[in-house]
Structure 1
Amino acid sequence: MKLAVVGGGSTYTPELIDGFARLRDTLPIEELVLVDPAADRLELVSGLARRIFAKQDHAGKITTTTDIDAGVADADAVLLQLRVGGQAARNQDETWPLECGCVGQETTGAGGLAKALRTVPVVLDIAERVRRTNPDAWIIDFTNPVGIVTRALLQAGHKAVGLCNVAIGFQRKFARLLEVEPGQVHLDHVGLNHLSWELGVRLGGPDGENVLPKLLAEHGDAIADDLHMPRKLVDRLGVVPSYYLRYFYAHDEVVKELGTKPSRAAEVAAMEKELLEMYGDPALDEKPELLAKRGGAFYSEAAVDLAASLLGDGGSPIQVVNTYNNGTLPFLADDAVIEVQARVGRDGATPLAVPALDPLYAGLIANVTAYEDLALEAALRGGRDRVFKALLAHPLIGQYDYAEGLTDRLIAHNREHLAWA
């Protein structure tokens, strides 16, 4: 089995490598190719990757290349984890929206749109290269904004599934609180990527006992603290929202906070510099503790599970993924991409049935899906008017003067990445 990781020079990669090494019985990789245009980062990351494999007695071969075509050739699956423009572009996404009084974040709002505009054309080019060299390969997208990028891939006819670590993070957290094995915890996870709710927490499987009321009663303070939301809100909802919902439920409060501290991108850039120095140490043969602060917790385990299910029989039959709606949420078009529990196998992902949603959740999902429709149109066809319409449709913006100002700033800060600008 051969896997390729595009964006393999990322400081995230040792997390992925650690999972591949630990879970080799689930996903028996014979060759892993790390693909990245940054040869210097590739050298540091691949060196540590080989040492991790060696320490854990993994017999797989790790190779590197800056050539996408060579890297994806003959791969059974290609995992995308790239960041167009790097942390510098992310820093812009997180700062210039604040000038208009709107949240600055890399996956939602104006910053999220900027990232989508930079990313979609690049990802589609990579996917076409995969299709030319190996049309049977699965593409696993971890590149944000996952929902929009996955829809672009599916719409273009690629074999693709989107992946995020939010759900597996909740699963692991709830399992720890309940003192059970993670595999015993099944989430009624519903929504879009970075716009989701845990409507139930079931023990043993999709039809198991819902212990969410027990979790909230006994551990509500800890859960609310992790979400940076008030306990009374979580109790009132009776569900557990993704922490990204804070950008919607407390937008103005978050904008004030973001204006008083360095951007997350600045923090991550400093962390990445330190991590890369660590990766260059020939004595280091495991992922460092600092990597946990970088983000992406349990990403490797989710990726292994998904790849194993798509390529064989090693993964869990039911997983939270991003895939076509196909009637699952009746108020959305079939070709909308949703994030829900799905049955995953060699033929891809089929969403499980979802009960009728409270309008509180359905309305916001429909609104953000409409924005994502317009965002993808802007990413595929370009043009100032399309950017403006997408921003105007976003529930975190929604006013024409904000949308005008944000459009100008978005184009100004991303001109080098926009072929049409």
Structure 2
Amino acid sequence: MASRGIKIAVIGGGSSYTPELMEGLIRNVDILPVREVWLVDIEAGREKLDIVGSLAKRMVEKAAVPIKVHLTLNRREAIAGADYVVTQLRVGLLDARARDERIPLKYGCIGQETTGAGGFAKALRTIPVILDICKDIEELSPNAVLFNFTNPAGLVTEAVLKYSNVKCVGLCNLPIGMRMSIAKALSVDESRIQTEMVGINHLNWTTRIFLDGDDITDSFLDKYVGAADMTPKNIPDLRWDRDLLNALHAVPCGYLRYYYMTDQMLEEQLESARTVGTRAEVVKRVEAELFELYRDVNLAVKPKQLEQRGGAYYSEAAVRLMTSMYNNTRDIQTVNVRNGHTIPFLPPDVSIEVNCVIGRDGAYPLQPTAELSGSARGLLQVVKAYESLTVEAAVHGDRLAALEALTVHPLIPSVSVAKKLLHEILAANEAYLPQFK
């Protein structure tokens, strides 16, 4: 690797997020000597791949860095000999996401890309595709590391950990976004903030906050209730209840609003669906504008408007992880890995999202120093049970596991609703779910 430089394969290369990733690779080329970036997509994504790929090439040219950008519809060609593989794909494109959001709303349930019945539908479509990619990695580049950014990231990572031999780390921009938000609320540089995060993807709690090494968790919790702009763009920024934060003695991630404020969040979703559209429908409009910008042959940098897409800090998270692994820095980052005995009340073979030491051989989870509250532990166990059942349903086309997964989920009120949801999700996604035939 050192002599020829690093080869990266990006599966889902036509994504609107790709300029984020390219910006990070260009900025860090001195410490992460990338020489080849292969952007891969499917036939349905050819036009977007051409547009994004051309922008990526202009970015490299403007920066005058020695990175060669390749565009291909041949996944195996891209994976062969790759050092790192990044997955950032969306099976069924945004139309499928819009269905994932609207179907649950019909039954009075949260409709969201990664949480509840929407995340369940996305996982069923996505997990078989990711495992198929893993077969190519095992055959063509067995030493490669897979960085999975594809949602639902925790579920997808768990499937890879259980059903492939690929070295995989699941990645989300939420933990780094939380640190950035905390730093912004305190008006300090992000490098001065350290956090301890415990949980699973899109269901985690920041249990300890340090400023220059001093534990400021208590004082920050007092401040946090009124802090605005501390949640991802795709989640309404409703204020946390002060008594809840005191009871939890932790800062919940933005997605926990779906569990702690279900009535308000559902009301907001129903109103949005009636007026501006679901999040997927809004994103389609944002993406149309982005791709118009990307077409501009004079554009050679990541446009500011990309931040409206909801992927802020993606390149920070992805490139920081790659750089740390390549340089064996042994620093601490929050990523998705196999549990082992890190969270003792969860099974050892599931994926968790916790602080890890990042080195050349992978990500090693650190034992949390702060205990989660009893309610947080209980919620984690229930949602993890749902996730593990969903992985089994997706891999084996198991309808009973699928029904059990939906029935146990806290955002689905009854088995009768779970049955209706399952029937409609399987019917709406039939073209993507051959395992259920």
TM class, shorter-length: over 0.9
Q: Which amino acid aligns with 1:414?
A: N
For residues 188-199 of structure 1, what are the structure 2 equivalents within 5 Å?
188-199=196-207
Rounded Cα–Cα distance in structure 2 between residues aligned with 1:137 and 1:275:
32
2:304 corresponds in structure 1 to 289
Q: Which amino acid aligns with 1:406?
A: L
Q: 1:29 aligns with which of 25, 29, 34?
A: 34
1:220 corresponds in structure 2 to 225
Q: Which amino acid aligns with 2:348?
A: D
2:24 corresponds in structure 1 to 19
Give the SS at the match of 2:225: helix
Rounded Cα–Cα distance in structure 2 between residues aligned with 1:345 and 1:191:
22
Q: Which amino acid aligns with 1:128?
A: K
* Contact persistence 1:203–1:210 (CA under 8 A): yes
2:414 corresponds in structure 1 to 399
Q: 2:314 aligns with which of 285, 294, 299?
A: 299
Deviating more after overlay: 174-183 vs 192-201 = 174-183
Give the SS at the match of 2:344: coil
Rounded Cα–Cα distance in structure 2 between residues aligned with 1:255 and 1:177:
28
Q: Runs of 5+ in structure 1 lacking a partner?
A: none
1:241 corresponds in structure 2 to 252
2:107 corresponds in structure 1 to 100
Q: Which amino acid aligns with 1:121?
A: P
Q: Which amino acid aligns with 1:144?
A: N
Correspondence 1:116 to 2:126:
no
1:342 to 1:87, Cα distance in 2 relative to 1, 3 A: same
* Contact persistence 1:220–1:235 (CA under 8 A): no
CA shift for structure 1 position 287: 1.1
Rounded Cα–Cα distance in structure 1 between residues aligned with 2:150 and 2:113:
11
1:45 to 1:224, Cα distance in 2 relative to 1, 3 A: closer
Rounded Cα–Cα distance in structure 1 between residues aligned with 2:154 and 2:333:
16
* Contact persistence 1:305–1:316 (CA under 8 A): no
1:200 to 1:60, Cα distance in 2 relative to 1, 3 A: same
1:362 to 1:236, Cα distance in 2 relative to 1, 3 A: closer
CA shift for structure 1 position 311: 2.7
Correspondence 1:417 to 2:432:
yes
CA shift for structure 1 position 218: 3.8
Q: Which amino acid aligns with 2:179?
A: Q
For residues 63-78 of structure 1, what are the structure 2 equivalents within 5 Å?
63-78=70-85
Give the SS at the match of 2:14: coil
Q: Which amino acid aligns with 1:415?
A: E
Rounded Cα–Cα distance in structure 2 between residues aligned with 1:158 and 1:401:
38
Rounded Cα–Cα distance in structure 2 between residues aligned with 1:375 and 1:98:
20
Rounded Cα–Cα distance in structure 2 between residues aligned with 1:290 and 1:5:
22
Rounded Cα–Cα distance in structure 2 between residues aligned with 1:214 and 1:223:
17
Correspondence 1:202 to 2:210:
yes
For residues 77-92 of structure 1, what are the structure 2 equivalents within 5 Å?
77-92=84-99
Q: 1:151 aligns with which of 158, 163, 170?
A: 158
CA shift for structure 1 position 203: 2.8
Q: 2:341 aligns with which of 327, 330, 333?
A: 327
Rounded Cα–Cα distance in structure 1 between residues aligned with 2:303 and 2:121:
32
1:325 to 1:300, Cα distance in 2 relative to 1, 3 A: same
CA shift for structure 1 position 386: 2.2
Give the SS at the match of 2:16: coil
* CA deviations over 1:86-144 (Å, ceiling 9, x no partner): 00000000000011111000101111110000000000001110111110000000001
Q: Which amino acid aligns with 1:168?
A: I
* Contact persistence 1:391–1:398 (CA under 8 A): no
Give the SS at the match of 2:417: helix
Rounded Cα–Cα distance in structure 2 between residues aligned with 1:61 and 1:197:
40
2:234 corresponds in structure 1 to none
Rounded Cα–Cα distance in structure 1 between residues aligned with 2:285 and 2:373:
42
Q: 1:388 aligns with which of 376, 396, 403?
A: 403
Q: Which amino acid aligns with 1:228?
A: L
Deviating more after overlay: 356-365 vs 106-115 = 356-365
Identity of aligned pairs, percent? 43
Q: Which amino acid aligns with 2:174?
A: V
Correspondence 1:268 to 2:279:
no
CA shift for structure 1 position 46: 1.0
Q: Which amino acid aligns with 1:327?
A: H
Deviating more after overlay: 212-221 vs 91-100 = 212-221
* Contact persistence 1:224–1:234 (CA under 8 A): no
Q: Which amino acid aligns with 2:16?
A: T
Rounded Cα–Cα distance in structure 1 between residues aligned with 2:12 and 2:413:
34
* Contact persistence 2:178–2:230 (CA under 8 A): no
Give the SS at the match of 1:95: helix
Rounded Cα–Cα distance in structure 2 between residues aligned with 1:58 and 1:398:
54
1:352 corresponds in structure 2 to 366
* Contact persistence 1:107–1:144 (CA under 8 A): yes
CA shift for structure 1 position 212: 2.4
2:355 corresponds in structure 1 to 341
For normalisation by structure 2, the TM-score amounts to 0.92
Q: 2:188 aligns with which of 180, 199, 222?
A: 180
Rounded Cα–Cα distance in structure 2 between residues aligned with 1:331 and 1:230:
27
Q: 1:280 aligns with which of 287, 295, 298?
A: 295
Give the SS at the match of 2:304: coil
For normalisation by structure 1, the TM-score amounts to 0.95
Give the SS at the match of 2:271: coil
Rounded Cα–Cα distance in structure 1 between residues aligned with 2:258 and 2:241:
17
CA shift for structure 1 position 223: 4.6
1:224 to 1:280, Cα distance in 2 relative to 1, 3 A: closer
Aligned length, in residue pairs: 417
